Amino acid sequence: GVPITLANGVGVTSIRFTLYYDPALLSITGVGTPLQNAIATVNSHDTALGLSDITVSGMSVTSATATAVVHLVANVPANALYG
C-alpha cells in the first residue's frame, strides 16, 4: 500500500485527516495500519470528489523517527493518463 507517515509520532494516540486526491489517477479501496494494536478506519469516502476521511486510533508510537501509520490500499486506474 501507499504509506502515510508521521515525522515524529511519539505521544500521539490517534490521528484523523482528510485525504484529497484525483479519482481519475487513484482508486482507494481501503486502509490498513502497520502499528500493533492500532485500528485504521475510513469514516467517509467520496470517490466522485476524491475525498477520504481517515482515522487511526489506539496508536502507540515509541520512535521519534518517521513512522508509517497508515497504508492506503489503492491502485491506478488502467485509463489514468501518465504525467
Q: Annotate 26-80 with DSSP letters as a single string.
A: -EEEEEE--STT-EEEEEEEETTTTEEEEEEES-----SS-EEEEEEEEE--TTP
pLDDT values of the chain reduced to their tens digit, one per residue, 83 residues: 889 999 998 999 999 999 999 999 999 989 999 998 899 999 998 989 999 999 999 998 888 899 899 999 999 988 888 87
Q: pTM of the full predicted structure?
A: 0.83
pLDDT of residue 1: 82
pLDDT of residue 61: 85
The DSSP symbol for 45 reads E
The span from the CA of 73 to the CA of 9, in Å, is 22
Which residue's entry shows cell 486506474? 77
